[in-house]
Chains A and B, each alone.
Chain A
């Protein structure tokens, strides 16, 4: 006796789904990570890089709103020289998108790292100049300290004193429909001592 209720209207696809279906040539995993970086973590100038390795892998790179990783020795240097994290210009960070359950191996990891540009080389340095022009004698002092820091860091990049190549490993969960969580881990080549969290 109950009349068949009219079937509810199909809901609009989510922003993420729309985004993914708008770029059919790129892997959905890569796009989901990019989307997450852009809207949850507020990264800017995001790019997708297709790596020419034995395995088809695409990386995402971008500028985080604040530093994601500081080597413990670098942190010590900054404290000793009175530098704060905000003073230092941000580096372009590479992100490796993966899915839970994806077959992975040491060989693949090494292939990704081999394809990465060396730390401190062109492509890593951000395009934006230090935004706020510092004024006065205090500013000049800071600028000198910063210049010293950049010089020291460039040297450190060669000796790997402050760690070698690094990237963020992003993993998403596509089982159970995927609940949108993306986890991020810092991966570095070699034995890099842990941070003092």
Chain B
């Protein structure tokens, strides 16, 4: 299952948002770089269903920035890349691609048929076995009561022997034509477009809010960060994968000399304690040397209600 995507991972910049469309990339980022993002895709048929969302994965600008700085990903101007890429496709490439899709569809259909057959065979076998044991029991009973009449059960279940259906249907599936092929909707556009977009479609580092140093600082300490809207803060910091841990902190970033309402500390601290979390406030210390890695000059304070 450890399929590592080709680096750098292209992050699609669409209408001001950052998206990842590949499953491999999404799992890789979560597994190796503690970046979860938010699954933003709904089913085309049921767009109002928003509990179980799927790809694409939407990233916060901070996450996108961090990945680019780490050299793991690059930002792609997806709209232009798609437009120009599709226009520059040669007729032959198009045909080849469609052909490929079709053969994939046929393959999938064959797999499906084979699976169905196997299921059918299994079910038939079970039925036959059941009948056989029943017949045996009946036979034994009859043998005990009447030794002469013993040919009533055996012809009945000989009939129900599977008449080698696998050969029949495999013959059928091998002759599947293009009309039987399953229609495939590709989720990614490479191929036909190249996996790594050409340099002219790459964008510079994403713009990030002033809380980015704090984000980088917490991320470097191994925290997983989520948007904090649900608790009225900037980030939620989880000590490990959010599927395994409750979050530890409601995080709010502030500038070093920005005036801070003490009431904010109280409300954050009180809310945090009420939901078994700490309230974390932090920002870049102007007096500390800025080093190469972002977030190393950040100071943080954790706040909890004292209960008195």
Interface residues in chain A, defined as those with a beta carbon under 8 Å from any beta carbon in chain B: 41, 68-69, 98-107, 109-110, 113, 168-169, 171, 183-197
Contact = CB atoms under 8 A, between A and B. Distances in A.
A74 B278 CA distance: 17
Interface stretch (B36-44, B140-148, B202-210, B262-270): B262-270
Contacts of A195: 304
Contacts of A196: 276
Contacts of B261: 101, 104
18 contacts: A41-B308, A68-B306, A68-B308, A69-B304, A104-B261, A106-B255, A106-B299, A107-B286, A184-B305, A185-B265, A190-B300, A191-B221, A191-B237, A191-B249, A191-B280, A191-B300, A193-B239, A197-B276
B302 A185 contact: no
Given A106-B254, A191-B218, A186 B259 contact: no
Contacts of B221: 191
Contacts of A184: 305-306, 308
B259 A104 contact: yes
B40 to A, nearest CB: 29
A169 B303 contact: yes
Given A105-B258, A106-B258, A171-B262, A185 B269 contact: yes
A194 B299 contact: no
Nearest to A188: B302
B236 interface: no
A9 B242 CA distance: 65
Given A104-B260, A110-B285, A194-B248, A185 B301 contact: no
A29 to B, nearest CB: 12
A194 B278 CA distance: 5
Contacts of B104: none
B55 to A, nearest CB: 32
Interface in B239-283: 239, 248-249, 254-263, 265-266, 269, 272-273, 276-278, 280-283
Given A188-B301, A188-B302, A106 B272 contact: no
A193 B262 contact: no
B251 to A, nearest CB: 9
A171 to B, nearest CB: 6
Contacts of A169: 265, 303
Contacts of A109: 281, 301
Contact of A194 (B256, B262, B277): B277
Contacts of A107: 256-257, 286
Given A191-B221, A194-B277, A100 B272 contact: no
Interface range on chain B (Cβ under 8 Å from partner): 35 or more
Contacts of A98: 262
B141 to A, nearest CB: 66
A106 B256 contact: yes
B273 to A, nearest CB: 7
Contacts of B283: 106
B304 A185 contact: yes
A172 to B, nearest CB: 11
A185 B285 CA distance: 23
Given A104-B262, A197-B276, 20 more contacts: A41-B308, A101-B261, A103-B259, A106-B281, A106-B299, A107-B286, A109-B281, A110-B299, A184-B306, A185-B265, A185-B305, A186-B305, A188-B302, A188-B303, A189-B301, A191-B218, A191-B221, A191-B248, A191-B249, A196-B276
- For B256, B278, B285, B286, the residue with the greatest tally of chain A CB atoms inside 10 Å of its CB is B278
B308 A194 contact: no
Contacts of B307: 197
Nearest to A64: B308
Contacts of A192: 278, 302
Contacts of B273: 194, 197
A194 B260 contact: no
A124 to B, nearest CB: 17
A193 B302 CA distance: 8
B278 A193 contact: yes
A186 B307 CA distance: 9
A13 B305 CA distance: 32
B136 to A, nearest CB: 62
A63 B302 CA distance: 22
A22 B263 CA distance: 30
A185 B260 contact: no
A188 B285 CA distance: 16
Nearest to A69: B306
